[in-house]
């Protein structure tokens, strides 16, 4: 008899359809049955001895919330028989109704030992508890997770003990994960947390990777990548990371129609064991990142989300350095400009902030100039060492890409049919802030903001907090301008100012979008199990 090993996760959901992801203990047929009669079935597919299904559910009624159950080979497996949580539901918002988007990044999933959590209360756990207490109250229509869903290079003590029973941790990569099976352990640790398991079963989610999903500072530079490829364990780590991401995160980002047209998904499903197919795909992605697109588009009524891969799609050659390869950049431009006037809000999800504290931005653009040789080979060597030591690899470290994104946002936000807002959603930097750009020429009519929210569950040393605060100061701006002059860096086409923050703690931001109005709320997890609102403000007129 098949058992439910992981899930269910409610992933895609629109006005009439949804997908539900599960992992079973053996090959079987997974079925989702909704209280209103909607249902769907899917046969499991196999990868590395694990059995998964992504069940498409059709025939849902817009604007309703319907409880659902999961069956494996006809046996009821969800909800769990002893569950204290309310029934999991599939909520399908009205096409023209209010859309609530909760977002954040960086969730270290280690369970607390003896009830003490070293990094403080988990914001997602706390959100789950609040929804469970009032199932008919406010809840997100979608949860956008902007990277570092798992930490392949920073495992918990529990996982370290599990790894040590499996292999010799004195051999590289030591206590970091090494292969696909060890990646599955990270997802079990994260998604079997009772609150998280229930939350992900009842709130749809969109996901994209960041560096820790593979390794810290993944794809920082060409020199970094060459060094990693010289290590004996890197290839297996990368391929396993991409394979596990495709299974656990990427597939659920796609609509039923996109899944039905995806040749890799069809190939993996049509073979008794899809491991070789998926591994070959990951190998192609490693050899030529431009042959794979991890980015995707989601529409929620008149809200458009473009989730951008700002990790694997990079061009790392120092003389042609880009955050997005040409195909990826063309995709972003095409999707942002498609059907002008058809959406009221454009959300650009990128794990790495576009707008940073001024000193950090200038330091990254200066370092990029050094690394490409503006000040000679000795400075270039210094720049590479500094880049790796200080994590200088955000949009500012790819100056041409920074400008291209600025130009695209200005174009989207100008002229007839411009949306009310263009909002860049990011995480990564373990604090939250709001920044507003102003173009030196041609200010767009849309409200444009950088909204950064991180971490969901992690910490940041006190000295780095001070650094982020200082980075916004007038003194820091002056220091940054000196660095930019030394690197012969051109002046950015936009200037920006901090509108809110920085805020530190385990936190989530929520956008409430209705018509052309947008409102932002920032909530932080408290030790008493509640989420406290620390900022709430309108972004556009009601």
- C-alpha 221/C-alpha 318 separation (Å) is 8
92 or 238, greater pLDDT: 238
Q: Beta strands 18-24 and 50-57: pairing type? A: antiparallel
User: pLDDT exceeding 90 applies to what percent of the chain?
Assistant: 93
Q: Give the three-class secondary structure for 199.
A: helix
Report the greatest alpha carbon distance in the chain.
69
Whether residue 374 is predicted with pLDDT greater than 60 in this model: the reply is yes
pLDDT mean over 226-235: 97
| pLDDT band at residue 112 under the 50/70/90 scheme | low
**Which pLDDT score, from 0 to 100, does residue 117 have?**
84
Whether pTM > 0.85 for this model: the answer is yes
The pLDDT of residue 63 is 86
| pLDDT attached to residue 92 | 85
Q: Per-residue pLDDT for 59 more than 60?
A: yes
401: which 2 tokens? Answer: 């890409």
Question: Does the structure show a pLDDT above 90 at 442?
Answer: no
- pLDDT on residue 326: 97
User: What's the whole-number mean pLDDT along residues 43-53?
Assistant: 98
How far apart, in whole angstroms, are the C-alpha atoms of residue 375 and residue 366? 10
Number of Cβ within a 10 Å radius of residue 468: 20
Give me the mean pLDDT over the 280-293 stretch: 97
> Mean of the pLDDT values across residues 338-360?
97
**Rounded-to-integer distance, Cα 526 and Cα 226, Å:** 43
User: What is the tens place of the pLDDT at every residue in 475-494?
Assistant: 999 999 999 999 999 999 99
Percent of the chain with pLDDT over 70: 99
- Calculate mean pLDDT across residues 115-134: 92
* Whether pLDDT at 235 is above 70: yes
Instruction: Report, as an integer, the average pLDDT of 467-473.
Output: 94
88-to-79, 80, 144, 184, 287 alpha-carbon distances in Å? 7, 11, 19, 24, 41
Mean pLDDT value across residues 353-377: 97
> At 113, is the pLDDT very low, low, confident or very high (cuts 50, 70, 90)?
low
Smallest CA-to-CA distance from 110 within 152, 142, 157, 74 is with: 157
pLDDT at 248 over 70: yes
Cα distances from 484 to residues 365, 391, 479, in angstroms, run 7, 18, 9
pLDDT band at 118, cuts 50/70/90? confident
pLDDT at 221: 97
Packed helices 358-371 and 377-390: angle between N→C axes, nearest 10 degrees: 140
* CA–CA distances in Å: residue 282 to residues 31, 243, 247, 287: 29, 6, 12, 9
Residue 370 has pLDDT above 90, yes or no: yes
Cα radius of gyration (the chain): 23
Q: What is the pLDDT of residues 399-440, one digit of tens each?
A: 999 999 999 999 999 989 999 999 999 999 999 999 999 999
Q: Give residue 182's pLDDT.
A: 98
Report residue 201 as tokens: 């079963």
Q: Is the pLDDT of residue 96 over 80?
A: no
Helix (H, G, I), strand (E, B) or coil at 184: helix
Q: Are 212 and 108 in contact (CB under 8 A)?
A: no
**Mean pLDDT of the 34-48 span:** 96
pLDDT at 212 > cutoff 90: yes
The region of weakest confidence among 94-108, 264-278, 487-501, 522-536 is: 94-108
The rounded mean pLDDT for the chain is: 96
Q: What is the model's pLDDT at position 114?
A: 63
């Amino acid at each position: 008899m098949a058992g439910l090993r992981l899930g269910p996760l409610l992933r895609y959901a629109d006005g009439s359809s949804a997908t539900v992801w599960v992992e079973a203990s053996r090959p079987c047929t997974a079925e989702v049955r909704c209280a209103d009669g909607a249902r769907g079935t899917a046969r499991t597919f196999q990868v590395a001895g694990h059995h998964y299904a992504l069940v498409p559910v059709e025939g849902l009624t817009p604007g309703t919330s319907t409880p659902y159950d999961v069956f494996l080979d006809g046996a009821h497996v969800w909800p769990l028989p002893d569950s204290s949580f309310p029934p999991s539901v599939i909520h399908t918002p009205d096409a023209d109704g209010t859309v609530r988007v909760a977002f954040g990044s960086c969730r270290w999933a280690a369970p607390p030992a003896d009830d003490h959590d070293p990094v403080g209360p988990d914001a997602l756990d706390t959100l789950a508890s609040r929804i469970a207490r009032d199932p008919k109250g406010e809840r997100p229509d979608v949860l956008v997770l902007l990277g570092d869903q798992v930490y392949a290079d920073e495992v918990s003590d529990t996982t370290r003990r599990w790894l040590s029973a499996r292999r010799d941790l004195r051999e590289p990569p030591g206590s970091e994960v090494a292969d696909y099976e060890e990646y599955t352990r990270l997802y079990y640790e994260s998604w079997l947390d009772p609150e998280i398991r229930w939350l992900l079963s009842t709130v749809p989610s969109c996901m994209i990777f960041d560096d820790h999903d593979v390794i810290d500072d993944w794809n920082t530079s060409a020199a970094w990548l060459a060094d990693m490829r010289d290590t004996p364990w890197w290839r297996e780590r990368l391929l396993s990371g991409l394979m596990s991401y495709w299974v656990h995160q990427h597939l659920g980002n796609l609509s039923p129609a996109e899944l039905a047209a995806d040749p890799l998904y069809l190939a993996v499903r049509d073979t008794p064991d899809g491991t070789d197919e998926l591994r070959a795909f990951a190998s192609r992605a490693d050899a030529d990142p431009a042959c794979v697109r991890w980015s995707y588009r989601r529409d929620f009524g008149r809200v458009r989300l473009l989730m951008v891969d700002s990790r694997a799609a990079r061009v790392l050659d120092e003389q042609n350095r880009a955050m997005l390869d040409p195909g990826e950049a063309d995709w972003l431009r095409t999707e942002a400009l498609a059907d002008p006037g058809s959406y009221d809000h454009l959300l650009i999800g990128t794990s790495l902030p576009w707008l940073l504290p001024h000193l950090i931005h200038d330091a990254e653009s200066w370092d990029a100039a050094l690394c490409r040789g503006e000040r000679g080979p000795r400075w270039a060597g210094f720049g590479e060492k500094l880049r790796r030591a200080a994590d200088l690899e955000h949009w500012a470290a790819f100056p041409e890409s920074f400008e291209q994104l600025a130009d695209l946002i200005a174009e989207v936000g100008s002229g007839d049919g411009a949306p009310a807002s263009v909002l860049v959603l990011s995480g990564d930097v373990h604090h939250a802030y709001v920044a507003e750009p102003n173009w030196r020429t041609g200010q767009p009519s849309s409200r444009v903001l950088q909204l950064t929210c991180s971490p969901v569950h992690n910490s940041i040393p006190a000295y780095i907090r001070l650094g982020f605060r200082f980075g916004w100061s007038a003194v820091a701006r002056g220091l940054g301008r000196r660095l930019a002059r030394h690197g012969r860096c051109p002046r950015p086409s936009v200037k920006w100012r901090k509108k809110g923050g920085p805020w530190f703690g385990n936190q989530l931001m929520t956008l409430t979008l209705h018509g052309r109005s947008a409102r932002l709320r920032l909530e932080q997890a408290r030790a008493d199990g509640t989420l406290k609102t620390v900022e709430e403000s309108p972004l556009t007129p009601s």
